[in-house]
Amino acid sequence: MELTHFDENGKAVMVDVTGKAVTDRTAVAAGKITVNQAVYHAIETGAVEKGDVLGAAATAGIMAAKKTAELIPMCHILPLTNCRIEFEKNSERREILCYCTVKVTGKTGVEMEALTGVSIALLTIYDMCKALDKHMKIGEIYLLNKTGGKREFNR
């Protein structure tokens, strides 16, 4: 497989999707943040002074997915048809797992939008809780699956 974001001179270009078929496309990305017990408890009980951490993070993730083309230079501007952020908490490991599902009917996929949504949702959790824990760890951000288009992917 060749890289498509470079021209014959090695310069970065936006991929021309003019000839591609319009299909329903979905991408799901995941990531996690590991926090200390104080942060985990504060999120669980709604005691974070800045407010509803997971609610704010979900909103931020959706907003970020919609603005992906403004952040990543070669991404196409896409009219998203749906974006959903979900969280799964693991009290034993003090982890909050984040999933971002993005959908579009278009000529190119929404993997970058899903990855951007997860990243910003997790960064929002960090921002809202950093007064309680300077050692939070964001990691394992990856694409879980994508459907539509030529190449489907399922981890």
127 within domain boundaries:
yes
The 10s digit of each residue's pLDDT in 70-87 is 999 999 999 999 999 999
Q: How many domains does the chain have?
A: 1
Query: Which residues, at least 6 apart from 76, have a Cβ–Cβ distance to it below 8 Å?
Result: 14, 15, 17, 69, 106, 107, 108
> In the chain, what percentage of residues exceed pLDDT 70?
95
pLDDT exceeds cutoff 80 at 9: no
Residue with tokens 């896409």: 78
Instruction: Provide the pLDDT for residue 118.
Output: 98
> In the chain, what percentage of residues exceed pLDDT 90?
77
The residue-averaged pLDDT of 139-146 equals: 96
16 within domain boundaries:
no
Catalytic center residues: 127
Instruction: Give the domain extent around 32.
Output: 23-148
12 within domain boundaries:
no
Q: Are strands 95-106 and 23-34 parallel, antiparallel or unpaired?
A: antiparallel
**CATH no. for residue 102?**
3.30.70.640
Helix, strand, coil fractions of the chain, as percent rounded to 5: 30, 30, 40
12 confidence band (pLDDT: 50, 70, 90): confident
- What pairs with residue 139 in β-bridges? 32
- In the DSSP assignment, the letter for residue 6 is B
10 within domain boundaries:
no
105 within domain boundaries:
yes
